Amino acid sequence: MTTPLVPIAPAPPAPDGSLQETLTQLLGSDSTSNPALDRLLDDYAAAHATLAVMGGCFLLGLLLLTAFCWRQRRRSRAGGAGTRSFEYRTYGRLGLVSLVASALLAVVVAANLGNALDSRPGFAGVATSLGSPPASGSRAEVQLEFSMWLASGDPATPPPIEERIDDRLAWQVPKAIITGVLLALMAAVGGRTWRGLLRASRIPDRPRAARDRAQRAIAFGSVPVCLVLMLMVMGNTQASVAPLTMTMLFG
């Protein structure tokens, strides 16, 4: 006589119905039979994998830029330019900024790669930091929807959450594309302006004009703008690829 299979009941909702408590219960029980939680963990891992991949690409570009700057710095000195020349100092400063940015980005890539490979510990930290938003706010509604969904164990996201995801993607994807285009344009403008300034610096006793000051402002300003745009591209692309986690956190 065979024993009938007993279906696994979905996790009960937290006593207070909060998303934080629901996640704490599910993660604390090491549950591997909740498809809703599995979907959320997969989305969380995808979000960090996206940052790791994009950060790795930008990191490679910054490392190449650093190597180029230091090589040009040595060449400018070997070509007769002193250590106080504009070309020598410019390549040195750009190389230093690129090196510092590379080091910081390497930390970001390593941290996100760890969460992408093992998402559960990192996601547990997210769960503990959720807190309880004001009951009348939209975030409270979002958290309640996610809490009910996770408690049900249903792999399919309910319509209210799908609508919120669609609303997010409606502006998040265009923002990712726009910031990417702006980054490419700013990098092109900045690179061209820097090349013009370096060529002009090689002309001896060349008088400075108002145009030179404008070019310097554009060149120096392009560096922080490109760094900020790089972060914006990474963040918006991450939210576009993995919108489920971002919707849970930010609505």
Q: Is 167 in contact with 28 (CB distance < 8 Å)?
A: no
Give domain status of residue 4, yes or no.
Answer: no
Give domain status of residue 26, yes or no.
Answer: no
Q: Of all residues in the chain, what percent are helix, strand and coil, respectively (each to 5)?
A: 75, 0, 25
Q: For the chain, how big is the Rg over CA atoms in Å? A: 25
The mean of the pLDDT values for the chain is 83
Query: What H or E segment, with its residue span, contains residue 193?
Result: helix 159-201
Give domain status of residue 145, yes or no.
Answer: no
Query: Per residue in 106-160, pLDDT tens?
Result: 999 999 998 898 888 888 888 887 766 666 667 788 888 988 998 888 888 899 9
Total domains, the chain: 1
Q: How far apart are CA 123 and CA 45, in angstroms?
A: 9
Q: Which domain holds residue 209?
A: 33-120+160-250
The answer on pLDDT for 7 being more than 80 is no
Query: Per residue in 69-84, pLDDT tens?
Result: 999 888 877 655 555 6
Report the share of the chain in percent with pLDDT over 70: 84
Give domain status of residue 76, yes or no.
Answer: yes
pLDDT of residue 78: 65
pLDDT of residue 222: 92
Query: Per residue in 208-247, pLDDT tens?
Result: 666 778 888 888 999 999 999 999 999 999 999 999 999 9
Give domain status of residue 155, yes or no.
Answer: no
pLDDT of residue 15: 42
Give domain status of residue 126, yes or no.
Answer: no
79 burial level (CB within 10 Å; 0-12, 13-18, 19+): exposed
